[in-house]
Amino acid sequence: MSSDIVIKVESINKCYQIYDKPRDRLKQFVLPGLQRLLGFPPKNFYQEFWAVKDVSFEVRKGEAVGIIGRNGSGKSTLLQMITGILSPTSGSVSTQGRIAALLELGSGFNPSFTGRENVYLNGALLGFTRDQIDNKFDAIAGFADIGLHLDQPVKTYSSGMMLRLAFAVQVQVEPDILIIDEALAVGDALFQKRCFQRIEKLLSDGTTLLFVSHDQESIRTLTNRAVFLSKGRMAAYGASSEVVLEYRRQLHVDESSYFSDVAKQLADKAAQASIVASEVVVGAPMLNAGEGLPFATSRSDQLSFGDGEAKILKIETLGADGMPATVFYPGDIIRIRVTCQSAINTDKLNVGIRIRNKEGVKIYSWGTLNQDMAERARNSSDDIFWSRQATAGEIFDVELEMQCSLGVNLYEIQGSISYEETPDYTAQRILHWVDEAAFFQVLMRREEYFFGGVIDLKMMARW
């Protein structure tokens, strides 16, 4: 291995044997050998899972290389083979120099030892004498900045305190190779800033960095080159900015596929639930005021509440052509059709929706009463929905229309029908509210129109 190459990974593979049942492990230990003795082809009682498959790359002295990929892509397994914690199934790994690694939080610490004792333990594992650790101890304690906790057992530490101490030990001993696996995500923002400053100093002093993170900007700015792992294989290798771009492209493809499947499944479930609800409601006798409508036992109705004089039967998302659709792009017309049934003769109704993204953030809420209030403010002579008379047993639709200005995400629609004593939301009574009434997905054609965030503010540039 060349003197300037400190890490060399050659066609490395890691295969795990996955057993369906515990007894299959015993069978695998005994039976294949007997089958060979008897002249029969041996049978395996496990399935192979290749966590890392045919990965090769080199890291030169003083270079910073990032490793990026989704959960389960093999990043941690690869690092554990480089540090020697795991042995590869095939292939080879060569390293030169002292390696300091921050892998699983707390790894290398004895939980019953104090922080001070663990500093000396870790230093010894890295090949330092007690005198050498004595000389560095004040710098380690100062960087960790955990005060009196330094003399308390590590098992009493919070995850942030444990990270502080572990990182302080690894960087103050000035390793030849520093390997970090997502550990910095635990720290607070100020400590992360100090960590990155220290990493940059180590890099300028010639330390080699192998850095795993889901933070794309950290990979792009902190490293020169990057490896993109996908399902254990190396999907891209090169300049960090180009690899991160490829990772983003793959994320977009994966998320689009995943959310399309989710939206379709949820739409199918919602359609089935609406059929059940419709059968129950339409077949029921007409009710007097206050009796309420019978609620079906589907999941949709378990997520609903209300007084019951009116009910939402279903909510559908439609395209501009009026056909059912669950995938939209910025600029598309989204129509949300709310089908309701009243159990009594009434007016003063308001049909509304709330839109939330998959993180649970409320993006928008609106109802027919919002439009009615605007019409009244303009002294318009147009009819308002609030004055519309609904008759007992009547099924009616309300269609809400908007132009899509939402960011890429999966969205939930919550629906409601309420009785509004006054046309201003000051005296509202919920007749029926339903969560997870419908779902839709927003994607983006990046080559045609692109923005970041939860909503398009339609910003313009002038010069």
Q: Residue 385's domain is classified under what CATH number?
A: 2.70.50.60
Same domain as 294, residue 220 = no
**Which of 252, 267, 294 lies at the terminal end of a domain, its last residue?**
252
| pLDDT on residue 281 | 39
For the segment 338-359, what is each residue's pLDDT rounded down to a tens digit?
999 999 999 999 999 999 888 7
Going from the C-alpha of 63 to that of each of 3, 6, 39, 68, 205, the distances in angstroms are 14, 9, 54, 16, 11
Q: Are residues 327 and 291 in the same domain?
A: yes
36/78 same-domain check = yes
Domain of residue 320, residue span: 253-442
Q: Are residues 232 and 341 in the same domain?
A: no
Residues 274 and 420 reside in one and the same domain: yes
* Same-domain check for residues 238 and 264: no
Residue 275 has pLDDT above 60, yes or no: no
161, 224: one domain: yes
What pLDDT score does 170 carry? 78
Residue 248 CB coordination number (10 Å): 13
Q: Is residue 282 part of a domain?
A: yes
**324 φ, ψ (degrees, to nearest 5):** -55, 135
Report if residue 371 sits inside a domain.
Answer: yes
- Rounded to whole angstroms, the Cα distance separating 189 from 184 reads 10
Return phi, psi of residue 126, to 5°.
Answer: -85, 0
Does this model's pTM top 0.85? My answer is no
The answer to whether position 23 is within a domain reads yes
Residues 33 and 92 reside in one and the same domain:
yes
- 191: domain CATH number is 3.40.50.300
For residues 100 and 202, give the distance between their C-alpha atoms in angstroms, rounded to a whole number: 12
Same domain? For 106 and 207 the reply is: yes
pLDDT at 159 over 50: yes
In a domain, 458, yes or no: no
Whether residue 98 is found in the same domain as residue 239: yes
Q: Do 225 and 343 reside in the same domain of the chain?
A: no
* Domain final residue, candidates 207, 225, 252: 252
The domain total for the chain is 2
pLDDT category at 277 given cuts 50, 70, 90 is very low
